[in-house]
Amino acid sequence: MNRLSDSLYSAIYPRLPVTAQNWACTIGGWTRYQQRFTEHFRRTLNAWEESMAWPAERLHELQRTRLDRLVRIARNAVPYYRDLPEPSSKRDPVEAMRELLHQIPPLEKRAYRDQPRAFISRDVPRRRLRSSQTSGTTGTALPLWYSPETLAEEYASVWRMRRRVGVDTDDPQISFNGQIIVPIAQPDPPFWRTNFHTRQTLFSIYHMTPANLRAYIDALHATPARYMQGYPSSMHLVALALLEAGRPLPKGRLAGVFTSSESLLAFQRETIEKAFGAPILDRYGVSEFAVSMTECEAHRLHVDMEYCIVEVETTEETDSYETGPLLITALAHDATPLFRYRIGDVGTRAKHPCPCGRAGDSFFEVDGRIEDYVLTPDGRLVGRMDHVFKDQLEVAEAQILQSDPRAILLLIVPRADYSDASERGVVRQIRSRLGPEIDVRIELVNSIPREPNGKFRAVKSEVGRNAP
Ligand SMILES: [Zn+2]
């Protein structure tokens, strides 16, 4: 959706009756389904379900072929990468990839932000180019372009993992995601909407007061679903409510729970699995379509080798692991190739093969998606506040600070075109999630300090912390 239809949508949708909102969710769901589950998706999924059993050598051959192809595209058709080195002639695929990649300097987000259009491949016809934005986990949004094939391959990696627990694209499901599907001012249930097309029940993550959560419990028991997906922080709050009420879902009702977008914390996993009676499989992906890691039964995150190359800039190392910032090379991104992109997350890569038997790189953990909740005056805990800045291209960086449930302080690093209108836009977005009562103070600053480990945190709250 472009920005005009986005703002039209947010003006009209909240005024519709619930039935019409359900139909709007259905149309949205139908559109997403058509875009994701294409013929290319089916073909890729089939191929990758097969290659998942390949030995490392064969996966490296495949990576090398895909990397070399992308380098050729980039040299010919991507202005930013005109001077990229040629693919290596070395025979061994691992050595060839290393030789090539080490000649390419890491790509900083800043370099991409300064001239994003220089990354668009002239090979992809304009009509095939889709656009979106990053969700801005570092408090800033970047414009993105991708081809239908990239989106299909992203979802092939998602569904290869999901199908392992026996669910498929047409199964009924429950979701806890960031869209505002229930108007924030709505005081009574239903705090969920239905997409009839794929039998998806979308629960609001913005209405979770202790009183409202009682309605969530009844609705979850009444909703037919085979799996659940969404933000761990939100599912964790609902899981606590289910357990406190002594009403967990019967074991086996759901085949699996799929978390993404935030780091899944250990206490969240335990509570969610207990309350929903199903195992969690976590996935690490980013809105740039540049990386995908999927969890196995042994609780490691396996790099989807067909989809990306992940390098670690090692800062700490033992016999069994190495830890450091990640550099990611997107093998599926033919519209805007990204090589050695410094994504801003830190990972710990295993040095020994995973006991599950799957070959290729695997990680013990990827850190950097931990976000605090904001606590509202009426007692709601709201996560994923970085979405507030998703459409704010005039904001270079932002951070929400909270020391009192009645107020938040917003630090903003403005870009040159920041104006009063930008500020009103930010406040509107904040109010749409946190409600009209909370006091919002804005301070324009030159920079936002990092955490001791160098990580940026979009939300720091002393009262709404990620408390177990
Ligand atoms: Zn494994």
Q: Is the pLDDT of residue 321 over 90?
A: yes
Q: How far is it, in rounded angstroms, from Cα 448 to Cα 411?
A: 8
Residue 194 has pLDDT above 80, yes or no: yes
pLDDT (mean) for 12-36: 95
Q: How far apart are CA 227 and CA 249, in angstroms?
A: 12
Residue 452 has pLDDT above 70, yes or no: no
- The residue that leads in pLDDT, 136 or 124, is 124
State if pTM tops 0.85: no
User: What's the CA-to-centroid distance between 129 and ligand 1, angstroms?
Assistant: 35
For the domain made up of 3-36+166-278, the CATH class stated in words is alpha beta
- C-alpha distances out from residue 71 to 83, 338, 433, Å: 10, 10, 42
**39-160+285-367: which CATH topology?**
Rossmann fold (3.40.50)
Enter the CATH code of domain 374-461. 3.30.300.30
Distance 12 CA to ligand 1 centre (A): 46
Find where tokens 């009676």 sit.
277
Distance 205 CA to ligand 1 centre (A): 31
pLDDT of 454 above 70: no
Share of the chain above pLDDT 90, in %: 68
Q: What are the residue boundaries of the structural domains of the chain, listed by start?
A: 3-36+166-278, 39-160+285-367, 374-461
What are the pLDDT digits (tens) for 387-434?
Answer: 677 667 788 778 899 999 899 999 998 888 899 999 998 998 899 889
How many whole angstroms from 298 Cα to the centroid of ligand 1? 5
pLDDT-derived band of residue 371, with 50, 70 and 90 as boundaries? Answer: low
Question: What is the CA(360)–ligand 1 centre distance, in A?
Answer: 9
Q: Is 3-36+166-278's fold the same as 39-160+285-367's?
A: yes
* CA of residue 348 to ligand 1 center, whole Å: 14
Q: How far is the CA of 162 from the centre of ligand 1 (A)?
A: 15
* Angle, CA of 67, 75 and 95, to the nearest 5°: 35
- The CA 194 to ligand 1 mean position distance, Å, reads 35
Which pLDDT score, from 0 to 100, does residue 5 have? Answer: 64
* Average pLDDT over the chain, rounded to an integer: 90
Q: Which residues contact 194 (CB under 8 A, 6 or more apart)?
A: 22, 25, 26, 200, 201, 202
- Residue 448, pLDDT > 90, answer no
Flag whether pLDDT at 465 surpasses 80. Answer: no
Tokens of 376: 């509202």
